[in-house]
Amino acid sequence: MGTKFKRLMEALSHTTISDDTVERLKYPKSSLKVSIPVRMDNGDLKNFQGYRVIYNNTRGPAKGGIRFHPDVSIEEVELLAYLMTFKCAVLNLPFGGGKGGVTVDPKSISKFELERLSRGYINAVADFIGPDVDVPAPDVYTNQMIMGWMMDQYSIIHRKITPAVITGKPLSMGGSVGRDTATALGSFFVIRTLMKEQNCKKDSLTVAIQGFGNAGSILAELLFRAGYKIVAVSDSKGAIYSENGLDIPSVRKYKNATRDLKSVYCEDSVCNILEHQTLNNEELLALDVDMLIPAALENQITEVNANAVKAKYVFEVANGPIASGADEILEENGVIIIPDILANAGGVTVSYFEWIQNRTGHYWTLGKVNKRLKQKMVQETKNVLEVSQRESVSIRTAAYIHALNRLEEAVNAGGTKSFYTDGI
């Protein structure tokens, strides 16, 4: 079935799933490739390649982000939509798996061009998305404003305001409070639940975080304020490391102000640069820490560098940061992996809350959003850990088993081979 099914096949060996369910998961339900013509600021017309994939909608409308990145391809989008199918099932959300993207370096185009590209993408896919069909959201290099443009364009096309078509929007356009911090906060609840189950004392744990974007930087501060020692963080330019721990709030403040990473401590208007080393991302991944959190892009840990990983726990806050070929190496070395389909599912969970709010017209408080997010993340983490212990399998395999069982229930509800051939 191919390398992307390696983890699925491992889970299938520990559970009884109908052939119908497996057959439905072999191929995406639909894969759309579009060209998006954009008039550039200098008058040129340029075509960008866009994609939208519904991998599976057995449990409900497809759900998944839209990424703007120069490396986006239909193969990548199909894989991410496949993973979203399992992520939504793990969290018991009434969604299937979807994903979208545009092959573009958003940093190389103007804000005017970015808006025209965003609206052009919706012009191209408008007949294939909708609140009951496929509900996009932000992803790599897309944000609230871009989601707002996209929702507005969809509403223009259909001549009615349709906030539930897209999640991750600005609050003033029907967004949900707590959506911007949801991925990080959800990961924090997963980490805290697992550490409690493992009887680990947080004040003795060291943490390295690869990726200091929205999810990584917010998670770093949540962990810092909870008493964890964050010894290293990185962005696309490199990493900083301090054996004694970094002052994360001041690192975030400096990063937001200058776009550079430095370990600083500020008191009133005076800031001092604290002692720290600079590392590259490969060196960060190889640090001798308790917890390693890849929160950047996919395929950061592969068969090539997996043996260099010394962390006891790896939390996949990015999508697919560990290549499937590296799983066995890490497990043989005693590394405990908490997979992306659980660890970073806070974002899609609060997207679900936003979708509910849009459809009812009743908007929740931040306290209610975070309380319900905590309940979801803690409960499903415990469910996955229970499967892991019961079946004596890795946490990743347990998460896939947990998702497969829910997908199986939905497929069975429509009838499988055993139903149609019973008595024949």
Phi–psi pair at 107, nearest 5 degrees: -75, -15
Tell me the angle at which helices 366-391 and 346-360 cross, rounded to the nearest 10 degrees: 130
Structure tokens at 209: 């975080």
Please tell me the number of Cα atoms within 13 Å of 265 on its side-chain side: 6
Handedness of CA 287, 6, 339, 56 (dihedral sign): positive
- At position 12, the amino acid (one-letter code) is L
Residue 145 has a CB neighbour count (10 Å cut-off) of 16
In sequence order, the 6+-apart residues with CB closer than 8 A to the CB of 37 are: 45, 46, 47, 120
Planar angle of CA 66, 70, 71, nearest 5 degrees: 85
Burial grade of 28 (CB within 10 A; 0-12, 13-18, 19 or more): buried
In this structure, what DSSP letter does residue 21 have?
H
> CB–CB of 277/240 below 8 Å?
yes
Which stretches of 207-280 are DSSP H helices? Answer: 214-225, 248-258
Is residue 348 a contact partner of residue 171, using CB atoms and an 8 Å limit? no
Six-digit token pair at 370?
């975070």
Please name the residue ranges forming H helices in 291-345. Answer: 324-332, 340-343
One of 99, 229, 255, 376 is an active-site residue; which one? 99
Cα distance between residue 279 and residue 232, in whole Å: 9
- Both structure tokens of 47: 């075509």
- How far is 62 from 130, CA to CA, in rounded Å? 9
**Strands, DSSP E only, in 225-315?**
229-235, 238-241, 264-267, 270-273, 277-279, 291-294, 313-315
Alpha-carbon span 243 to 288, nearest angstrom: 10
Identify the residue whose tokens are 């999810």: 215
294 contacts 316 by C-beta, under 8 angstroms: yes
Assess whether 229 carries a catalytic annotation.
no
For 309, phi then psi, to 5°, come to: -70, 125
Catalytic center residues:
99
